[in-house]
Amino acid sequence: MAHDGAMPTLPRLTALLLCCALSLSLAADAPLNLRLQGGGRACSGGLFVRDRTLEWHSSFSTCRSTPYRVLARTPVESKAHYVLALQRPSAHCFYRLIELEQVGEFQWNATGYQHYADYEHRDDPAWLQGDPDGRNTLSCPMHTR
């Protein structure tokens, strides 16, 4: 049976699939590079996520540049979601865990959690309806700079 070149051969198809899988894997492992700006009483300031460090300056908390560890990563175009654990937060940084969720092309929601347990209970109705002062979180709408 002659091959007319209209259909890719099995080796070509396999190579194409491997390239696609590799590019998706590389995109998932690509370094973060975000420059976000917040406004309002508690959220005024900037959040900077670089390849290896995170820095967040808001009205009531100053998180100087510190290494972070990625706990969760979903880099879907226009709906990205990241959970980052700060490894050595500075003395005036109230948050140990930062959750970043892309909500629009240029809009993000940044939530700082003082304790990992606060992050774990974030969807628990009893926790959400409880004392707001006991939640130890800050949620800020932000936009790219």
Largest Cα span, the chain:
75
Residue 126, CA atoms < 13 Å, CB-side half-sphere: 2
Model pTM greater than 0.85? no
18, amino acid identity:
L
Q: In whole angstroms, what is the distance from residue 88 CA to residue 68 CA? A: 8
Domain definitions of the chain by residue range: 31-144
What are the tens digits of pLDDT across the range 10-57? 454 444 333 333 333 334 456 789 999 999 899 999 999 999 999 999
**What CA–CA distances, in Å, run from 39 to 13, 14, 30, 59, 121?**
50, 49, 28, 9, 26
> Is the alpha carbon torsion for 113, 114, 120, 124 positive or negative?
negative
Q: What pLDDT was estimated at residue 53?
A: 97
Query: Is residue 128 pLDDT above 80, yes or no?
Result: no
What are the tens digits of pLDDT across the range 42-97? 999 999 999 999 999 999 899 999 999 999 998 776 689 999 999 999 999 999 99
In 3-state terms the chain splits into helix, strand, coil percentages (rounded to 5) of 25, 40, 40
Q: What pLDDT was estimated at residue 75?
A: 75
